[in-house]
């Protein structure tokens, strides 16, 4: 099985921390955010596709072609056209089912394992939050399947209400590429993965299943790096 890690962005909210390195290379407790992703992958995922862009050579020089026994293939996202745009750059090298992870957030190995268990459905790791902050709001139907992921059009908007948050960790398959990528919102220059997956699942009649966690660590600002170290210590990642 393959894993796709979206690691092309700079992380502008990190300010000067990402002047010399891309956000996925920032460290928490002595380990880069990308290494947390690699270490969370089950053994049977032995092929990692890294979507790189901003200062991508820093990532290439650090990891090369292997991480342990996992092969790494690099794909350049030359134009920052959104998360769906990033995935479409890897379309030609993806096979069957694959995992998608963001290059900055931290996920627990056990959660990744639950998500990649055999199934014909598509999956999304979700977490109930007391404050949504910038997370996409996941909507479920009466059967508990995902019907929508609502994101704010204002990228810097911080929502204080509670809700079910998308962690942006997906398990999809190549059927996604039979459906065109969808704009984040009307007139946007970026194509959003949440919008595309929701639309494609409905169009293709594929069940879109939530997998619940309490261990997602969202990294959006410098303060989150400090909080992440404490969470890792307390949650036993």
**Residue-by-residue DSSP string for 118-177:** S-SSEEEEEEEESS-BTPPEEEE-TTS-EEEEE--SSTT--B-S-EEEEEEEEEEEGGGG
**Burial code of 78-98, b = ≥16 C-beta within 10 A, e = fewer?**
eeebbbbbbbbbbeeebeebb
**What's the pLDDT tens digit per position in 109-162?**
999 999 999 888 999 999 999 988 778 999 999 999 999 999 876 665 666 789
Domains of the chain and CATH, by start: 2-235 (3.90.550.10)
Residue 160: per-residue pLDDT: 72
Cα separation, 163 vs 157, whole angstroms: 15
Residue 132: per-residue pLDDT: 80
Residue 159: per-residue pLDDT: 66
Nearest by Cα to 163 from 194, 197, 139, 195: 139
Residue 79: per-residue pLDDT: 87
Residue 13: per-residue pLDDT: 85
Q: Which residues pair with 188 in a beta bridge?
A: none
Which tokens in the block code for residue 218? 């969202």
Residue 12: per-residue pLDDT: 81
Segments of the chain scoring below 70 in pLDDT: 153-159, 236-237
Q: What is the reported pTM?
A: 0.94
Helix axes 82-89, 193-204, angle to 10 degrees: 70
Residue 82: per-residue pLDDT: 94
């Amino acid at each position: 099985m393959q894993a796709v890690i979206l690691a092309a962005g700079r992380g502008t909210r990190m300010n000067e921390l990402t002047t010399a390195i891309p956000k996925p290379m920032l460290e928490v407790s002595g380990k880069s955010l990308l290494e947390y992703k690699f270490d969370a992958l089950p053994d049977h995922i032995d092929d990692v596709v890294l979507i790189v862009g901003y200062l991508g050579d820093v990532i290439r020089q650090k990891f090369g072609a292997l991480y342990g026994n996992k092969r790494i293939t690099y794909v350049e996202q030359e134009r920052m056209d959104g998360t769906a745009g990033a995935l479409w750059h890897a379309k030609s090298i993806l096979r069957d089912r694959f995992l998608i992870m963001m290059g900055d957030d931290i996920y627990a190995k056990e959660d990744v394992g639950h998500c990649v268990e055999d199934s014909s459905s598509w999956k999304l790791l979700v977490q109930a939050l007391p404050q949504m902050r910038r997370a996409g709001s996941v909507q479920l139907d009466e059967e508990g399947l995902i019907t929508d992921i609502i994101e704010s059009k204002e990228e810097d908007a911080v929502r204080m209400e509670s809700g079910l948050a998308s962690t942006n960790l997906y398990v999809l398959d190549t059927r996604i590429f039979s459906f065109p990528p969808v704009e984040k919102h009307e007139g946007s220059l970026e194509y959003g993965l949440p919008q595309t997956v929701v639309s494609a699942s409905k169009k293709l009649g594929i069940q879109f299943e939530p997998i619940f966690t309490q261990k997602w660590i969202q990294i959006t600002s410098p303060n989150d790096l400090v909080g992440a170290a404490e969470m890792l210590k307390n949650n036993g990642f």
